[in-house]
Chains A and B, each alone.
Chain A
Amino acid sequence: AQKVTQAQTEISVVEKEDVTLDCVYETRDTTYYLFWYKQPPSGELVFLIRRNSFDEQNEISGRYSWNFQKSTSSFNFTITASQVVDSAVYFCALDPEAAGNKLTFGGGTRVLVKP
């Protein structure tokens, strides 16, 4: 069975602070994919980033960066220099290769960026 845990339910920061969101996953599959999605107040789910289990290289894309550590089954996500528009619920999701794109979501972390 697959499981994704986002221990932080809510994070509040002041604009321009960095925000790191934690994600821990469980799977028996050796090949899998990890995602981060954003759900702004308008309600839709927006794809942000993807990482496969064979690529532990951490990357930066604009103000987003992620830290994938297979040894600890963690896939953390950082927003640098947060902005008010970053206020949203962020979901980590797991897609084991054998599952055929079926996503298992974590419970989400609500980020509130105050001006």
Chain B
Amino acid sequence: DAGVIQSPRHEVTEMGQEVTLRCKPISGHNSLFWYRQTMMRGLELLIYFNNNVPIDDSGMPEDRFSAKMPNASFSTLKIQPSEPRDSAVYFCASSMHSAGTEAFFGQGTRLTVV
């Protein structure tokens, strides 16, 4: 298995532009997570899907952030409009929805908003 695949690996964009991050989870996993990592706040869960349905989006910082999972093999995290404070590494992770199963993380997308 190729693992969780994220694209792009790096993204540099200007403030105000729309940014779309993409994730392909591990085949057969039915839970998908988007995390954000910053120096100040560490690793934070943004949103969690189970069977393609958003279950908990309480970590999404504001309305500029949105996430979708149109099918079991693809998810997007969109920021519109982007701001410099959105600069971070965004991780996608997937797991089987069973208590205590480990989450497998992608390599992350490093986003820089200038």
> A residues bordering B, Cβ < 8 Å?
31, 33, 35, 37, 42-47, 50, 52, 91, 95, 97, 100-108
Q: Are B31 and A44 in contact (CB under 8 A)?
A: no
Encode contact with A along B61-103: 1 for CB under 8 Å, 0 otherwise: 0000000000000000000000000000101010101111111
Q: Are B45 and A103 in contact (CB under 8 A)?
A: yes
Bound Cα distance A47, B103 (Å): 8
Interface of B is mostly: strand
Give the size category of B's interface with A: 20 to 34
* Given contacts A44-B106, A50-B102, A100 and B50 within 8 Å (CB-CB): yes
Q: Find residues 100-114 in chain B having any chain A CB closer than 8 Å to their own CB.
A: 100-108, 110
Bound Cα distance A85, B102 (Å): 23
Tell me if B55 counts as interface (CB < 8 A to partner A). Answer: yes
16 contacts between A and B (CB under 8 A): A35-B102, A37-B105, A43-B110, A44-B107, A45-B105, A50-B100, A50-B102, A95-B99, A95-B100, A100-B99, A101-B97, A101-B101, A102-B33, A102-B45, A103-B103, A104-B45
